[in-house]
Amino acid sequence: MWDNEVGASKAAARFWCDKIRDGARVLCLATGNTPTAFYKEWTASMQQDSVVASLTTFNLDEYWGIPAGHPGSFRQYMELNLFKPLGLQSDQIHFLPSSLPRAEDTEWDICQRYEEEIRRAGGIDLCLLGIGANGHIGFNEPGSAADGGTHLVALTEKTRRSNQTAFEGPPPERALTMGLKTIMTSREIVLLAFGAQKSKAIHEAFFGPMSEACPASVLQRHPSVTAFLDREAAHHLPAYRS
Ligand code: GLP
């Protein structure tokens, strides 16, 4: 736990870069307001590092039903905050699309292909997660099955409202997301959460019952999760309750 977001982001980026220098190559990445400072720190630490060329990335999720390149898309967020500044090449990057790439595809085909690409890359070494105020990870909303693979989801109103700012009109109603099972196959997980609006979800995730009502609670079963929290997000945890 750190006093503020900056301290926690710096520590998380140091931890993350050490893991990469120790051999983590296949990375799962998150979007949202939470990891932006983390991405800056990571970029500053590795911009000139030859190890960057050996990385493979998979993003957790993408909105469904918006044109490719839409400014509100997670792909655009990643281009701006990490891919361009760090110098990742397009053949290193894997992303769920925001619409059917070919008329003969179905959403199911796309999700199965993504799972297959992760398998072919050797599985995820290191996975970055944020958390929604309702305990969602990726776009696995409350009610998501712990054994679910990559799939199409209907976003809750709460999640749509939180993500409104990236869109001029109403935010998308659906998204493709890596499933909880896929996330749990990661060898190591790093979770970031900042701000009082995350404190309840953090408490439920790590100290509540394991339940579909809080998708992040599935992480209690993972052998290697490290959470980087600011004081506000940690507020409800027994060790930090003030
Ligand atoms: C988003 C993403 C999640 C993210 C979460 C929290 O919609 N799908 O991967 O962790 O919601 O977002 P933020 O960091 O902006 O609070």
User: Cα dist. 140→30, 33, 127, 204 in Å?
Assistant: 13, 18, 15, 15
d(CA 174, CA 182): 19
Q: CB burial class (10 A; 0-12, 13-18, 19+) of residue 242? A: exposed
Give the Å distance between the CA of 104 and the centre of ligand 1: 31
CA atoms in the 13 A half-sphere facing the CB of 199: 15
Give the Å distance between the CA of 137 and the centre of ligand 1: 7
**pLDDT greater than 90 at residue 135:** yes
68 — pLDDT class (breaks 50, 70, 90): confident
Q: What is the pLDDT of residue 240?
A: 77
Q: What is the pLDDT of residue 230?
A: 98
Q: What is the pLDDT of residue 104?
A: 86
Residues 203-218 have pLDDT tens digits of 999 999 999 999 999 9
What are the catalytic residues? Answer: 61, 134, 136, 141
Ligand 1 within 6 A of CB of 130? yes
Ligand 1 within 6 A of CB of 72? no
Give the Å distance between the CA of 193 and the centre of ligand 1: 10
Residue with CA at minimum distance from ligand 1 atom 5 = 132
The arithmetic mean of pLDDT across residues 175-200, rounded, is 98
**Which is the closest atom of ligand 1 to the Cα of 129?**
10
The arithmetic mean of pLDDT across residues 119-127, rounded, is 98
Ligand 1 within 6 A of CB of 131? yes
Ligand 1 within 6 A of CB of 186? no
**Which is the closest atom of ligand 1 to the Cα of 31?**
9
Q: Is the pTM of this model over 0.85?
A: yes
**pLDDT greater than 70 at residue 242:** no
Rounded to 5 degrees, what angle do the CA atoms 1, 5, 37 make?
130
Contact 46, 17 (CB under 8 A): yes
The arithmetic mean of pLDDT across residues 126-154, rounded, is 97
Q: Which residues contact 48 (CB under 8 A, 6 or more apart)?
A: none
Residue with CA at minimum distance from ligand 1 atom 11 = 132
Q: What is the pLDDT of residue 102?
A: 86
Share of the chain above pLDDT 70, in %: 99
Ligand 1 within 6 A of CB of 171? no
Write out the two tokens for 207: 């100290």
Q: Helices in the chain by DSSP H: which ranges?
A: 5-21, 36-46, 74-78, 84-86, 107-120, 157-162, 180-184, 199-207
3-class SS of residue 155: coil
3-class SS of residue 9: helix
d(CA 211, CA 144): 10
Q: Which residues contact 134 (CB under 8 A, 6 or more apart)?
A: 141, 142, 156, 158, 159, 201, 214
d(CA 82, CA 84): 6
Contact 144, 101 (CB under 8 A): no
User: Cα dist. 71→52, 76, 167, 183 in Å?
Assistant: 26, 6, 8, 26
> In testing the pocket of ligand 1, which one of 129, 163, 177 has its CB within 8 Å of the most ligand atoms?
163
Contact 215, 177 (CB under 8 A): no
103 — pLDDT class (breaks 50, 70, 90): confident
> In testing the pocket of ligand 1, which one of 162, 178, 189, 232 has its CB within 8 Å of the most ligand atoms?
162
CA-wise closest residue to 61 among 178, 214, 172, 181: 178
Residues 26-50 have pLDDT tens digits of 999 999 999 999 999 999 999 889 9
| Mean pLDDT, rounded, of the chain | 96
